[in-house]
Amino acid sequence: MNRIWKHKRTCSYLVILIIFITTFPLPSNAQESSLPVAPIIIDNVPINTKYMMRDGQIHVPAIFFKHTGAQVDWNEIYRSVVFQAKDKKVAFPVGKNYTDEYDRVTRSWNRGILSSETIEFQNEVFVPLMEVAKKLDMDISYDHKAKRTLISTNLYVKSNGMNKRATSRKLVALTFDDGPEDYYTPKILDILKEKGVLATFFVVGYEINSYPDMMKRIVNEGHGIGNHTTTHPDLRTKWSVDVRKEIVTTQEILLKTIGRKSDLFRPPFGAITKADIAILNEIGMRNILWSVDTLDWSGLSGREIVNIVLRDVSPGGIILQHNFQHERLLDGTVEALPVIIDELHEQGYTFVTVQTLLE
């Protein structure tokens, strides 16, 4: 009896707590921002964003709209955010309650009234969610029951991501991110050479410039390469023009250093928006993620890394490891590598580059 009552009481506390959380979303990181965070459903996918209320309207960071597939940029001269989706191009100037929409036929900008102005807050630009969505011909509605805003973008961006190859053949790809450098990379290359195994290195532009000889060694020893941006930013926080620059600059650095580019890309932290994928599609690059996350960057031991690989590996899989020398955290990566190769060989796996895996 007592237990049932206790259970009931816990349940009602839980219900009250859930009502409280859904009604008053809690800030995700109180130190970083005082703003509340809530998910907005974009084409059926919930994506968290901080937001603020102004003039009875929800305002979100302008950059959040990259999740819809729209390109989002900043024009410093006019101090305005410029959104582009399909044939639409609309500017939202900061501190103004109007928009300027580009007319491609007359090649002129037409002014439109806005019911709530674009705001700058803590070095970020916040735009009225409803108004931007409507200007970009997206359908937006509010589900009162679920207390959620829903956006149907009417924008198609070809999904370009791969975290493994669908195959029953026992193929597996080793990948190393964030290099080249000259502490761990030579150790990794030595092991791969000794074992006769090819891997794929997702390289960072500024590291290629710092270690061009190591970059050349990777290529000369037959390994695959992929582009991992120029400065390793979280692409979700970057204007579209800067995302493009991050990708294209590393392509140019590769061309200059080893005489060719790569058609593979991996976003830092695996973090990417639909707008960034649209850029990759346009450049003709594939977005490569992983199916086995060794978490080696956190300083795991060789044994721990091996255990993760043996637990999560499957045919067509892509294994994520790193080769950066910051804080020398990757002793485990080097220690694990020969064991991973031997164990997986024993299980009948063949190691291939990501390029080969895709063929």
Active site residues: 177, 322
Of the candidate spans 24-32, 99-107, 268-276, 306-314, the one that interacts with Zn ion by CB under 5 A turns out to be 268-276
Q: Indicate the residue among 81 and 215 with the shorter CB distance to Zn ion.
A: 215
Q: What is the Cα–Cα distance from 279 to 239, expressed in whole angstroms?
A: 12
Of the candidate spans 24-32, 95-103, 171-179, 189-197, the one that interacts with Zn ion by CB under 5 A turns out to be 171-179
Of the candidate spans 5-13, 109-117, 119-127, 175-183, the one that interacts with Zn ion by CB under 5 A turns out to be 175-183
Residues 58-87 that bind Zn ion (CB under 5 A): none
**Minimum distance from residue 184 beta carbon to Zn ion (Å):** 14
Q: Indicate the residue among 227 and 240 with the shorter CB distance to Zn ion.
A: 227
226 binds Zn ion (CB under 5 A): no
CA-angle at 254, arms to 218 and 195, nearest 5°: 15
Q: Which of 268, 302, 317, 332 binds Zn ion (CB under 5 A)?
A: 268
Q: Indicate the residue among 50 and 223 with the shorter CB distance to Zn ion.
A: 223
Joined tokens for residue 150 = 């829903």
**Minimum distance from residue 177 beta carbon to Zn ion (Å):** 4
**Backbone φ and ψ of 131, nearest 5°:** -65, -40
Q: What is the Cα–Cα distance from 67 to 273, expressed in whole angstroms?
A: 5
Burial 202-227 (b: 16+ CB within 10 A, else e): bbbbebbeebeebbebbbeeebbbbb
177 binds Zn ion (CB under 5 A): yes
- Please answer whether residues 221 and 189 qualify as being in contact, where contact means their C-beta atoms are separated by less than 8 angstroms: yes
CA distances from 337 to 27, 62, 220, 313, 322 (A): 41, 43, 20, 14, 11
β-sheet bridge partners, residue 57: 54
246 binds Zn ion (CB under 5 A): no
**Minimum distance from residue 232 beta carbon to Zn ion (Å):** 6
- In single-letter form, the type of residue at position 259 comes to G
Burial 11-25 (b: 16+ CB within 10 A, else e): eeeeeeeeeeeeeeb
178 binds Zn ion (CB under 5 A): yes
207 binds Zn ion (CB under 5 A): no
Q: What is the Cα–Cα distance from 39 to 258, expressed in whole angstroms?
A: 44
Q: 10 Å Cβ neighbour count for 102?
A: 16
Q: Which residue is nearest to Zn ion (CB)?
A: 177
Of the candidate spans 23-31, 37-45, 177-185, 271-279, the one that interacts with Zn ion by CB under 5 A turns out to be 177-185
Q: Indicate the residue among 129 and 253 with the shorter CB distance to Zn ion.
A: 253
**Minimum distance from residue 157 beta carbon to Zn ion (Å):** 23
Q: What is the Cα–Cα distance from 259 to 268, expressed in whole angstroms?
A: 24
Q: Indicate the residue among 204 and 352 with the shorter CB distance to Zn ion.
A: 204
Total residues interacting with Zn ion, rule: CB under 5 A: 3
Residues 304-323 that bind Zn ion (CB under 5 A): none
Joined tokens for residue 169 = 């053949």
Enumerate binding residues for Zn ion (CB under 5 A).
177-178, 268
